[in-house]
Amino acid sequence: MTATPGGTAAVGLKPRATRADRLRQLVPVIVLVVMYAITVGIAPGYLKAPQIGSLLQLASILGVAAVGQTLVILVGGIDLSVGAVVTMTNLMAAAIIANRDTSLPVALVVVLGIGALVGLGNGLLIQYLKVPDLVATLATMTIVVGVGLLFTHGSPKGHSSPALNALVTQRFLGVLTGGVVIWAIVAAIVIIFLRSSAGGRYVYAVGLNREASRYAAVPVTRTVILLYVASGLTSALAGFLLTGYTGSAYLASGDTYQMQTIAAVILGGTSMFGGRGGYGGTIIGVLITVLLVSALRVVGIVQAGQDIAYGIILLSMLVLLTRMARRSA
Amino acid sequence: MRTARNYLRREPSVLAAWVVLAVIVGIWLAGTSNLSVLSVTIMVGQKVPLVLASIGAAIVIMSRGIDLSVGAVLTVVNTIIAAGTAAHGNSVVWIGIGMCVALAAGAVNGLCVAMLRLPPLIVTLAVQSILLGVALYVLPTPGGQVDGWLKDLPLLLVGPVPLMLLIVIAVPLVTWYPLRRSRFGSALLSSGADEGAAYASGINVKKTVVSSYMLSAFFAGLAGVIMSMNTGSGDPTIGVPFTLNTIAAAVVGGVSLAGGRGTIAGPIAGALVVSFIGNLLFSIGVNSYWQYVVTGAVLIVAIAIPVGLRAIRAGRQAS
Amino acid sequence: MDQAGTSGSPLIELRGVQKHFGGVQAVRGVDFVIPAGTITGLAGENGAGKSTLLKILAGLHQPDAGEVWYYGELQSGLTPSLAKKAGVAYVAQELSLFEGLPVSENILIGQEPMWGPFVNRRRLNAEAKRALDIVGSQIDPDAMVRDLAFADRQLVEIAKAMVGSPRVLVLDEPTSGLRQAEVGRLIELMKDLKKTGCSVVFITHRMGEFFEACDRMTVLRDGAHIATLGIEEITPSQVVDLMIGRQLAEVFPAKQVTEPDAPTGDALVMKDFSVHGTRVRAVTVSLQRGEVLGIAGLAGNGQTELLEGMAGVRKATGDYLVGSSVGPFRSVRSALRAGVALVPEDRKRHGLVLAMAVYRNLTLPVLRGLSHWGLVNGAREGSMVKDVISAVQITPPDPEVPVESMSGGNQQKVVIGKTLLTEPDVYLLSDPTRGIDVKTKFEIYSLIRRLAASGKAVVLVSTDLAEITSLCDRVLVMAAGRVVAELGGDHINEREITRASFEAVAL
């Protein structure tokens, strides 16, 4: 679940939740439940395994990509390069794998390396060159898009491999896929990190008050840089999974993830200002996002309508959460 | 003129931006042969949208905000004009409607940021999504049309000078110059610098902020109109690179992202610099995909320079 | 005491004005009169209530009780803009100019001369120039404030106040950055105003300025009015006496004898220590274990910055040895490792992460030691937190509540507890008892004494002279970033410390 400012602990002491915290945790869940109920009402197929399974499949890729965005937003920043990294790793993975299962490990290592590199670039720009996070990640996004275009000369080549496709799309237990399991593992790691580790505490402290954290000997620079690296890594992993899901690569395949990761974090109750929230909330936000897109498609609303609905819901949620937080503060 | 010299002394970044532009144009000219009047005219027309959009973006940045919906406003106006004209003719009407939509979007942005105190990043991102959806709905695939006489405007010459060149000089003069010289000018910069102090000095900060977002939308809308004239049709994805480019233009032009300082002359030069990157790369025979990388790098360098200068100055003072 | 130096009916009168902030009474029942055609100096120690009194006068603060009279009329619902309209111009200590705007726009902001919908540039510059001439400044009205030095900015701020021909000019430390010639010009301006029947009231810490400019002086102490006298009736030495003469009501713990097996020797040695980006220069000090070293002086003279440089918060240069570790330290972490820890001056912004729980604030600097493989050991943390809470007597003893829900005194105890957990050899305390209730103050004093007795070294920065004189074994006085006096033994008394602080500043 979403955590209180400073996070929630697993054992021992845990921070007392305020009314604002509880609302922040509760509202996303209510929204999700209501949305699911409405969707099921319109299309009862959504109660069945196949539909739930495909929802989870979509959610897993977005969920992995949203891990980095959650971490970065928690520390008070933003990552606008997520979409571009997903696209580029998608392009590169397809090109390297080229339908060969044996190329999978190499492809994975390469794309993770690139993701980490982009994240490192972001972190260094932000911490050492004091470039504002908005501009820094916008700039790296442009550079990554350019590199992707140069790499493929404008026409994506390559193909995913059977093993990867199976990992990401083959169902077992009715609703699960390998991708969902990977998401679950990543999610568990992040949640444990944020709740129970020293590093997790540093994230919240820096997000709430950077100066006080510095006075308290928190390694601020290192923390921020590592979080952006993590964001690059999870975006890359998401791109890798996306390759298995679609089977190949398309230009701008990752673009929608940019907006959706930010939306998932916000819809999950994490504060844009940093220091409050957690990955549990993002999971709810991811489910809301995926459900929304899916439901709109079922009702027959085209892409255009989805974008509009998306923006409106995001704005409304933002207004709601901000007003609530302010009133009980 | 004493005022011109003062102005440049106050904002050295403006001078720097124009110098960089001159250098880039110089290199480009050297590498380009067969420049006809027609091709230059078309080229000037193509740069106008970014220049106009950058003016609006700069205004918002000066108020310590950011507008990520600039590209979307441009797109929505473009698609409304193209689709509307194709269905019912008479582009002028559709220009009017498009501009109204643009201003409405600007108002939404401004009200959310100023009244509801929401973070500009997310608000404009959400509005961007809504507007792109509207654009896609209005014109699902590239197409539509624009009245003939409008399409011909970018090719018009007034004497030896392209009409578009006159427009790109006249619009800022007619809009920004008086704004800067009115109370709004100091209200904008003071609100961006220190909201509390501005309020204490009797400035209506909320009104100023809302106005800045509406101005941004206005200029982005104008850019969409010019874009329609240039291409003669509509494209629901046309505005995508604009958002980054306008921010880059503002930064290269010396506008500080922290708000409270800046000019318009700087971002105009910045917009031209950014848009010339493509031309320059083409003239020296480099793959045009490199323009993305170069634009990103230019943005980073433009922001890092003041930081570097400040660090050097601080280092020198410390002893 | 007599209210002296009157000539005609007063321009401004404050009757029985009171103001408190949180638990602290800043102004108690002050009667204050500003007669027409006078220059009044307002003197008092830090925290005496001078700034607050002037802010009430100028409409920035609403008094809890008492009345404000302008020109014989009772004011109600006074705001800064109403005050300005009534001809009462106020210049705060903290400048509020807009860096991105030129001088002329700053001076006339909100009241620019218009030409239709546009600002009349020519008149704007002309009126700005007029205001600048009055204060004797040669600054170009077109210059950007961003490019101006602090002294010039102060003059612009005063010029801003002169627009609209005020009848009462209220200045809070207007001369702090000015050079001698500029101060002289400002005093002339005050005298010119006086000739036209207007009045000036100003705060300064330079005794010389009082005696050169003022007709009368008012002394405040602990928020109360002590005396108002004509300038001929008093000497600088008497002013100092009035400022500090108080009965030491608080009981301080006796200076303990050092425990027999406490470590001795040098805890810290500094030579030629300077802190980057501040005025702190060439500080040479050595600190013994078991010693409490006080650093006094007027607020804002580098004391806080010195401690921040010593603790690794700011970059510093010079010879700096703590125990066996060589500084200066590039980060707070390395300073902590060497055994130096700082309790920051601003507990809300630097000392605590307010929204976070007490226990998380307490253990933030020592998380590394509490973790195995990166995961925090909840049990060990729990017991550590429990111990500290009882050691420092934090109330309520609930480690899970957010710190922002606690009183100022308890918040400060959390900061101190956090520092205790890092187990330093040298404690740097920056104004640790500011804004804290008396009971907690005493607890903190006892703690300081106990730390010293057990062989730790303590550096205490404070503007509370009672604290300094009662707790410290040695006192350094700082002015303009340098150490200007070192007092020991019997020389540690309020009079000598104050004199040393003043003498250094009066040029």
Specify the 3-state DSSP secondary structure of A218. coil
Give the residue from chain C lying closest to A21, CA to CA.
Answer: C355
Mean pLDDT to the nearest integer, C489-500: 84
Report the CATH number that the domain containing residue B107 is assigned in CATH: 1.10.3470
Are B130 and A259 within 8 A, CB to CB? no
Chains in contact with A, where contact requires at least 3 CB pairs less than 8 Å apart: B, C
- Please indicate, yes or no, if residue B2 is contained in any of the structural domains: no
Specify the 3-state DSSP secondary structure of C283. strand
What is the DSSP code string of A87-139? HHHHHHHHHHHTT-GGGHHHHHHHHHHHHHHHHHHHHHHHHTS---HHHHHHH
Helices (H), chain A: 19-42, 49-74, 82-97, 104-127, 133-152, 162-169, 178-196, 198-208, 210-215, 220-246, 255-267, 279-299, 303-328
Mean pLDDT to the nearest integer, C90-118: 85
Containing H/E element for A157? none
CA B77 – CA B99 distance, rounded (Å) = 7
- Say yes or no: A204 contacts chain C, CB-CB below 8 A: yes
Going from the C-alpha of C488 to that of each of B49, C293, C477, C493, the distances in angstroms are 74, 10, 11, 9
Are C276 and B318 within 8 A, CB to CB? yes
Specify the 3-state DSSP secondary structure of A280. helix
How many CB atoms are closer than 10 A to CB C133? 12
Please say if the pLDDT value at position B22 is more than 60. Answer: yes
**Residue numbers of the domain that contains B143:** 14-24+36-318
ipTM of the predicted assembly exceeds 0.85? yes
CA A208 – CA A75 distance, rounded (Å) = 8
Residues of chain B found within 8 Å of residue C60, distances taken between Cβ atoms: none
Mean pLDDT to the nearest integer, C413-420: 95
Nearest beta carbon to residue B293 from set A132, A146, A302? A146
pLDDT for C263-305, tens place per residue? 778 889 999 999 998 889 999 999 999 999 999 988 778 899 9
Q: What's the pLDDT score for residue A3?
A: 45
Q: Are the C-beta atoms of B157 and B37 separated by less than 8 Å?
A: yes
Report the CATH number that the domain containing residue A189 is assigned in CATH: 1.10.3470
Residue A217 C-alpha, separation from nearest chain C C-alpha, in angstroms: 5
Specify the 3-state DSSP secondary structure of C265. coil
- Averaged confidence pLDDT in chain B: 88
Please say if the pLDDT value at position A48 is more than 50. Answer: yes
Q: Are the C-beta atoms of C471 and C460 separated by less than 8 Å?
A: yes
Preceding amide of C328 cis, omega within 30: yes
**Selection from C31, C40, C39 nearest residue C13 by Cα:** C31
Total structural domains in chain B?
1
Burial code of C299-321, b = ≥16 C-beta within 10 A, e = fewer?
A: bbbbbbbbbbbbbbbbbbbbebb
**Selection from B44, B49, B59 nearest residue B235 by Cα:** B49
pLDDT for B190-240, tens place per residue? 999 888 888 877 788 999 999 999 999 999 999 999 999 999 889 998 888
Report the phi/psi class of residue C290: left, alpha or beta, with left for phi > 0 and alpha for psi in -120 to 50: left
Tokens at B90, concatenated: 């008479």
pLDDT for B274-319, tens place per residue? 999 888 888 888 888 898 899 999 999 988 888 788 777 766 654 4
- Please indicate, yes or no, if residue B5 is contained in any of the structural domains: no
Q: What's the pLDDT score for residue B317?
A: 56
State what percent of residues in chain B have pLDDT above 90. Answer: 41
Q: Are the C-beta atoms of A186 and A67 separated by less than 8 Å?
A: yes
- Please indicate, yes or no, if residue B30 is contained in any of the structural domains: no
- Please indicate, yes or no, if residue B6 is contained in any of the structural domains: no
**Residue numbers of the domain that contains A273:** 11-328
Residue C364's pLDDT band (cuts 50, 70, 90) = very high
Q: Are the C-beta atoms of B224 and B132 separated by less than 8 Å?
A: no
Q: What's the pLDDT score for residue C3?
A: 42
Containing H/E element for B151? helix B148-152
pLDDT for A232-252, tens place per residue? 999 999 999 999 999 888 888
- Please indicate, yes or no, if residue A292 is contained in any of the structural domains: yes
User: In this structure, what are the phi and psi dihedrals at residue C246, rounded to the nearest 5 degrees?
Assistant: -135, 155
Please say if the pLDDT value at position C251 is more than 60. Answer: no
Residue C5's pLDDT band (cuts 50, 70, 90) = very low
Please say if the pLDDT value at position C505 is more than 60. Answer: no
User: In this structure, what are the phi and psi dihedrals at residue B263, rounded to the nearest 5 degrees?
Assistant: -130, -175
- Please indicate, yes or no, if residue A85 is contained in any of the structural domains: yes
Q: What's the pLDDT score for residue B6?
A: 67
Residues of chain B found within 8 Å of residue C147, distances taken between Cβ atoms: 10
Specify the 3-state DSSP secondary structure of C66. strand
**Selection from B293, B300, B243, B244 nearest residue A124 by Cα:** B300
Q: Order across the sheet with C426-430: list the strands.
A: C340-343, C426-430, C457-461, C292-296, C474-479, C482-488
Within 8 A by CB and 6+ apart from A25, the residues are A1, A2, A3, A17, A269, A281
State what percent of residues in chain C have pLDDT above 90. Answer: 39
pLDDT for C192-201, tens place per residue? 888 888 999 9
Residue A180's pLDDT band (cuts 50, 70, 90) = very high
Total structural domains in chain A?
1
Amino acid at C295: I
CA C198 – CA C168 distance, rounded (Å) = 6
Lowest mean pLDDT among A26-30, A201-205, C107-111, C339-343: C107-111
**Selection from C172, C345, A59, A304 nearest residue B79 by Cα:** A304
Amino acid at C275: V
How many CB atoms are closer than 10 A to CB C212? 16
Q: What's the pLDDT score for residue A159?
A: 87
- Please indicate, yes or no, if residue A244 is contained in any of the structural domains: yes
Helices (H), C142-281: 150-162, 180-195, 207-213, 236-244
Please say if the pLDDT value at position A8 is more than 70. Answer: no
Residue B4's pLDDT band (cuts 50, 70, 90) = low
pTM over cut 0.80: yes
Mean pLDDT to the nearest integer, A169-185: 88
Q: What's the pLDDT score for residue C1?
A: 35
Are A311 and B133 within 8 A, CB to CB? yes
Chain centre to alpha carbon of residue B170: 15
How many CB atoms are closer than 10 A to CB C97? 21
Tokens at A213, concatenated: 């954290």
- Please indicate, yes or no, if residue A4 is contained in any of the structural domains: no
Are A13 and C350 within 8 A, CB to CB? no
How many CB atoms are closer than 10 A to CB B133? 25
CA C434 – CA C460 distance, rounded (Å) = 12
Mutate to test the interface with C, among B63, B190, B316, B319 (most CBs of C within 10 A): B190
CA B27 – CA B32 distance, rounded (Å) = 9
Nearest beta carbon to residue A16 from set C331, C352, C402? C402
Which of A162-171, C2-11, C314-323 is modeled with the greatest confidence? Answer: C314-323
Please say if the pLDDT value at position A262 is more than 90. Answer: yes
Specify the 3-state DSSP secondary structure of B307. helix
Give the residue, A260 or C245, on which the prediction is more confident. A260
The vertex-B74 CA angle with B73 and B75, nearest 5°, equals 90
Mean pLDDT to the nearest integer, C67-85: 87
Mean pLDDT to the nearest integer, C140-147: 87
CA A172 – CA C143 distance, rounded (Å) = 72
Amino acid at B149: W
- Averaged confidence pLDDT in chain A: 89
Residue C373 C-alpha, separation from nearest chain B C-alpha, in angstroms: 37
pLDDT for B94-128, tens place per residue? 999 999 999 999 999 999 999 988 999 999 999 99
Q: What's the pLDDT score for residue A329?
A: 46
Please say if the pLDDT value at position C260 is more than 90. Answer: no
pLDDT for A9-28, tens place per residue? 545 788 888 888 888 889 99
- Say yes or no: A128 contacts chain B, CB-CB below 8 A: no
CA A73 – CA A264 distance, rounded (Å) = 11
Lowest mean pLDDT among B104-108, B282-286, C339-343, C412-416: B282-286
Residues of chain A found within 8 Å of residue C379, distances taken between Cβ atoms: 11-12
**Selection from C104, C111, C106 nearest residue C128 by Cα:** C104
Neighbour-count burial of C176, counting CB atoms closer than 10 A to its CB (0-12 exposed, 13-18 middle, 19+ buried): middle
Residue A101 C-alpha, separation from nearest chain B C-alpha, in angstroms: 31
- Averaged confidence pLDDT in chain C: 86
Which of B146-160, B235-249, C306-320 is modeled with the greatest confidence? Answer: C306-320
- Please indicate, yes or no, if residue B3 is contained in any of the structural domains: no
Q: What's the pLDDT score for residue B47?
A: 92
**Selection from A226, A209, A211 nearest residue A276 by Cα:** A209
- Please indicate, yes or no, if residue A243 is contained in any of the structural domains: yes
Look at the block and give the residue holding tokens 């997000």.
Answer: A207
Please say if the pLDDT value at position C26 is more than 50. Answer: yes
Are C142 and B10 within 8 A, CB to CB? yes
Q: What's the pLDDT score for residue C245?
A: 64
- Please indicate, yes or no, if residue A6 is contained in any of the structural domains: no
Give the residue, B96 or C81, on which the prediction is more confident. B96
Report the phi/psi class of residue A200: left, alpha or beta, with left for phi > 0 and alpha for psi in -120 to 50: alpha
Residues of chain B found within 8 Å of residue C117, distances taken between Cβ atoms: 178, 182
Tokens at C250, concatenated: 């608080």
Give the residue from chain A lying closest to C311, CA to CA.
Answer: A215
CA C405 – CA C411 distance, rounded (Å) = 9
**Selection from A237, A203, A235 nearest residue A218 by Cα:** A203
For chain B, count helices (H), then strands (E): 14, 2
What is the DSSP code string of B34-78? ---HHHHHHHHHHHHHHHHHHHHHHHHHHTT---TTHHHHHHHHH
Tokens at B171, concatenated: 């619009």
Please say if the pLDDT value at position C488 is more than 60. Answer: yes
